[in-house]
């Protein structure tokens, strides 16, 4: 495997993955990356090129299904999938519908471009929601402020975005112009995987086209024939960028929800969480309670009252979406128990 490590690095392989292999696996397996997810198959790429595999899933664990960006270990002799490697990062969401199953959107993304424009689209709460999602997924966020060319005050937007999270990278660009988007190249280099989120019209497609250089994304092998013999893309694929990286393009990224993202939210609002630790009551709502450290910090000008309002709203949204997921899991557990009882009952009758 060592001689092919360079090809693997092109695909995004790093020590994070290689340390997961034991000695025997190093000898007898081949790692491949899931480049595209189609209805009944996965397109994977490795040092020996691309090939199709059957979908990979674990019966009892929705999160162990292979998704785009994942790394799989194949048995070198038989070509069979042995296991899914642990992920560096993962985006998931709840499927629409009443039971809201967990859907994996993408794995092993390194950087998330949070795209918003230097105009009325700019909205701190929206950016904070994206920041929390990035944090929860384990992905590095970069705020990309598009339409800088149309604004006289792009520096004001940069400053406002930079205030949302200490140390956050913020780049203002004209998404149509490579002379401007070169600022994003540090995150698009060899083996790096990037994805984009942002509302409609902010310039995501424009940015993708400029970064891909050709005005259109190369579709190398990620098409499949539909029933009429035409080629259709399924929209869950990694695309090669000229800078050596991979761009993940999937519609699912646009519907990301703030579920089970409590840690992510707390990290984005660490200043409020830290202040709240000094409130007299553990369950302080920072709403007129005595000895409330958050209210005191706002009064002293150390915390922004608007930010507290946004935190409350986002925390409520997160709690609501998370609750519906845990209700479903509880239902499933109860059903599993019931099914076991029925089976045990049947068996005991049979042996009577």
Ligand X SMILES: Nc1nc2c(ncn2[C@@H]2O[C@H](COP(=O)(O)OP(=O)(O)OP(=O)(O)O)[C@@H](O)[C@H]2O)c(=O)[nH]1
Q: Which residues bind ligand X (CB under 6 A)?
A: 146-147, 149-150, 174-176, 198, 200-206
Q: Is 110 annotated as a binding residue?
A: no
Is 201 labeled as ligand-binding? yes
| Token pair listed for 122 | 């700019």
Nearer to ligand X, 149 or 260 (CB): 149
Which residues are paired to 196 by β-bridges? 113
Summary count for the chain: helices (H), strands (E): 11, 15
CB 205, min distance to ligand X, A: 3
The CB-of-293 to Zn ion minimum distance in angstroms stands at: 6
CB of 85 to ligand X, least distance (A): 32
Q: From the CB of 350, what's the least distance to ligand X, in Å?
A: 58
DSSP label at residue 46:
E
C-beta closer to ligand X: residue 173 or 292? 173
What does 171 bind: ligand X, Zn ion, none (CB cut-off 5 to 8 Å by kind)?
none
For the chain, what is the radius of gyration of the CA atoms?
Answer: 23
3-state secondary structure 87-135: CCCEEEEECCCCCCCEEEEEECCCEEEEEEECCCCCCHHHHHHHHHHHH
Tokens of 109: 């993304």
Q: Does 204 belong to an annotated binding site? A: yes
- Annotated binding residue 94: no
Question: Closest CB to ligand X among 196 and 272?
Answer: 196
CB 196 within 8 A of CB 253: yes
Rounded to whole angstroms, the Cα distance separating 56 from 220 reads: 22
Would the annotation count 89 as a binding residue? no
The distance between the two most distant Cα atoms of the chain, rounded to a whole number of Å, is 85
What interhelical angle do 124-137 and 305-351 show, nearest 10?
Answer: 40
Residues that bind Zn ion (CB under 5 A): 279, 284, 286, 292, 294
Nearest to 30 by CA among 63, 74, 61, 60: 74
CB closer to ligand X out of 30 and 174: 174
Residue nearest to ligand X (CB): 203
Taking CB within 5 to 8 Å according to partner kind, which of ligand X, Zn ion, none is near residue 294?
Zn ion
Cβ-based nearer residue to ligand X, 7 or 149: 149
CB 197 within 8 A of CB 130: yes
- State yes or no: 228 annotated in a binding site: no
Nearer to Zn ion among residue 284 and residue 303 (C-beta)? 284
**205 known member of a binding site:** yes
Query: Shortest gap between Cβ of 282 and Zn ion (angstroms)?
Result: 10
Q: Which residues are annotated as a binding site?
A: 146-149, 198-206, 279, 284, 286, 292
Q: Which residues are annotated as a binding site for Zn(2+)?
A: 279, 284, 286, 292
């Amino acid at each position: 495997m060592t001689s092919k490590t360079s090809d693997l690095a092109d695909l995004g392989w790093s020590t994070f993955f290689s340390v997961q292999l034991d000695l025997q696996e190093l000898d007898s397996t081949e790692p491949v990356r899931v480049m595209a997810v189609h209805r009944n198959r996965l397109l994977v790429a490795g040092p020996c090129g691309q090939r199709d595999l059957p979908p990979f899933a674990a019966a009892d664990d929705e999160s162990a299904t292979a998704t785009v960006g994942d790394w799989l270990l194949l048995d070198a002799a038989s070509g069979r999938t042995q296991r899914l490697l642990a992920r560096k990062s993962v985006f998931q969401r709840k499927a629409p519908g009443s039971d809201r199953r967990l859907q994996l959107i993408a794995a092993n993304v390194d950087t998330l471009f949070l795209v918003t424009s230097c105009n009325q689209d700019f909205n701190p709460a929206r950016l904070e929601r994206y920041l929390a999602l990035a944090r929860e997924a384990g992905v590095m966020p970069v705020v990309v402020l598009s339409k800088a060319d149309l604004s006289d005050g792009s520096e004001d937007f940069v400053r406002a975005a930079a205030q949302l999270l200490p140390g956050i990278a913020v780049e203002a660009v004209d998404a149509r112009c490579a002379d401007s988007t070169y600022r994003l190249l540090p995150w698009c280099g060899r083996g790096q995987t990037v994805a984009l989120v942002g509302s409609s019209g902010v310039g995501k497609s424009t940015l993708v086209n400029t970064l891909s250089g050709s005005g259109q994304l190369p579709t190398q092998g990620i098409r499949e024939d539909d029933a009429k013999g035409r080629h259709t893309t399924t929209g869950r694929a990694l695309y090669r960028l000229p800078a050596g990286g991979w761009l993940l393009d999937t519609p699912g990224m646009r519907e990301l929800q703030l579920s089970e993202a409590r840690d992510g939210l707390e990290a984005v609002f660490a200043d409020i969480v830290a202040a709240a630790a000094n409130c007299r009551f553990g369950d302080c709502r920072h709403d007129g309670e005595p000895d409330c450290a958050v209210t005191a910090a706002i009064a002293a000008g150390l915390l922004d009252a608007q930010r507290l309002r946004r935190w409350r709203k986002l925390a409520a949204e997160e709690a609501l979406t998370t609750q519906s997921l845990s209700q479903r899991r509880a239902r499933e557990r109860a059903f599993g128990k019931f099914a076991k009882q029925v089976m045990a009952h049947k068996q005991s009758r049979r042996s009577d």
